[in-house]
């Protein structure tokens, strides 16, 4: 009697197991994601939207394909995710993918997975495949078509090639640094001598303006002050405060002494001799002589 009861219990357990498996199978089939195109046809290179949604238990962790997924024969443009909506204990997640195709197959299918996260692994559950038909824009045979030439010029907006400009600037800067590394001392020397000579030329120009104008005590006095300031810059001595006697003791020269006495007579005595232009020229020659000597010393020291 006990053996029959055991057999009956085993039969009941087997029936319950079969029923559980059927329920599990039915439940798993009901939980497939739903993937569907928004239209039933598509044009080559035109965008189309594909909606993927999934109904699941609110406690389940669900992941949808991102932009790195292979959507062949389609290419993804972007995706738009919607927040989870839960109603009567059932949650719904959905994503709209914007796709484009360049495949010339007339019937193109797509099915996408969702991923269920469990404690041990992540299970992929695929939707049923949905199809779209490619619209034929060219009805006639391809062999009968002829290319139409279009020789019209289209205006293009000019663009600045910043990388190329930056390359040129860096190259030029590198060339300048190389030149400066080898010839820096020579360049500094020539530049210093150039500025030195430029200042003397400015003096000559301003001094000659006075000597070419009407020579009177005022003009001669201004020319003498300019001459003394120039000598002061060349010799680094206070020539502007020197008297004629002190200048001669510093720069002994008979012609210069006579010229300075002529200048003093014109400034302080109002006596203008016919030798005044020659005297003014002697002062300029002496300044030029001192400039040349000072320039040679400067060139040797650089």
Distance in angstroms (rounded) separating the CA atoms of residues 109 and 37: 10
Please name the helix (run of DSSP H) or strand (run of DSSP E) that holds residue 130, with its range, or none: strand 130-134
Q: Rounded to two decimals, what is the model's pTM?
A: 0.47
Give the orientation angle of helix 254-268 with respect to helix 217-235, to 10 degrees.
Answer: 140
262 SS3 class: helix
Handedness of CA 210, 211, 215, 220 (dihedral sign): positive
Residue 9, burial from CB neighbour count under 10 angstroms (0-12, 13-18, 19+): exposed
Q: Which of 99, 97, 100, 98 minimizes the C-alpha distance to 45?
A: 100
The average pLDDT across 157-173 equals 91
Please name the helix (run of DSSP H) or strand (run of DSSP E) that holds residue 202, with its range, or none: helix 162-212
Question: What pLDDT score does 29 carry?
Answer: 42
What is the pairing mode between strands 130-134 and 41-42? Answer: parallel
Q: Encode pLDDT of 226-280 as tens digits.
A: 999 999 999 999 999 999 999 999 999 999 999 999 999 999 888 888 889 999 9
- With beta carbons less than 8 A apart as the criterion, state whether 102 and 71 touch: no
User: Percent of the chain beyond pLDDT 90?
Assistant: 61
Distance in angstroms (rounded) separating the CA atoms of residues 74 and 76: 7
Question: What pLDDT score does 8 carry?
Answer: 52
Strand ranges across the sheet with 130-134: 41-42, 130-134, 107-110
Distance in angstroms (rounded) separating the CA atoms of residues 106 and 135: 8
Residues whose CB falls within 8 Å of the CB of residue 208, separated by 6 or more in sequence, listed in order: 284
Q: Which of 97, 102, 96 minimizes the C-alpha distance to 134?
A: 102
Question: What pLDDT score does 12 carry?
Answer: 47
Q: Encode pLDDT of 114-163 as tens digits.
A: 999 887 788 899 999 999 999 877 666 656 667 777 778 888 888 889 99
Q: Which of 114, 101, 34 minimizes the C-alpha distance to 72?
A: 101
Q: Which of 205, 239, 213, 211 minimizes the C-alpha distance to 223?
A: 211
């Amino acid at each position: 009697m006990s053996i029959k009861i055991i057999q009956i219990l085993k039969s009941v357990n087997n029936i319950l197991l079969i029923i559980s498996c059927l329920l599990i199978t039915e439940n798993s089939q009901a939980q497939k994601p739903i993937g569907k195109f928004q239209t039933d046809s598509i044009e080559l290179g035109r965008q189309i939207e594909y909606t993927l949604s999934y109904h699941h238990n609110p406690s389940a962790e669900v992941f949808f394909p991102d932009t790195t997924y292979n959507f062949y024969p389609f290419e993804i443009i972007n995706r738009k995710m919607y927040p989870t909506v839960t109603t009567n204990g059932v949650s719904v997640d959905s994503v709209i993918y914007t796709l484009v195709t360049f495949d010339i197959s007339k019937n193109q299918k797509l099915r996408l997975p969702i991923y269920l996260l469990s404690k041990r692994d992540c299970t992929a559950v695929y939707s049923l495949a949905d199809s779209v038909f490619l619209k034929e824009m060219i009805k006639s045979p391809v062999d009968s078509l002829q290319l139409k030439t279009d020789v019209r010029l289209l205006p293009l907006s000019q663009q600045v090639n910043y990388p190329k400009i930056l390359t040129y600037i860096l190259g030029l800067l590198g060339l300048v640094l190389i030149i400066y590394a080898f010839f820096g001392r020579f360049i500094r020397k020539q530049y210093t001598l150039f500025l030195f000579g430029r200042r003397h030329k400015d003096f000559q120009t301003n001094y000659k303006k006075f000597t070419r104008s009407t020579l009177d005590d005022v003009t001669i006095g201004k020319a003498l002050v300019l001459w003394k300031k120039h000598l002061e810059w060349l010799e680094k001595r206070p020539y502007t405060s020197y008297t004629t006697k002190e200048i001669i003791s510093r720069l002994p020269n008979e012609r210069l002494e006579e010229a300075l006495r002529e200048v003093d007579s014109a400034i302080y005595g109002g006596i203008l001799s016919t030798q005044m232009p020659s005297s003014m020229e002697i002062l300029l020659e002496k300044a030029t002589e001192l400039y040349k000597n000072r320039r040679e010393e400067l060139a040797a020291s650089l």
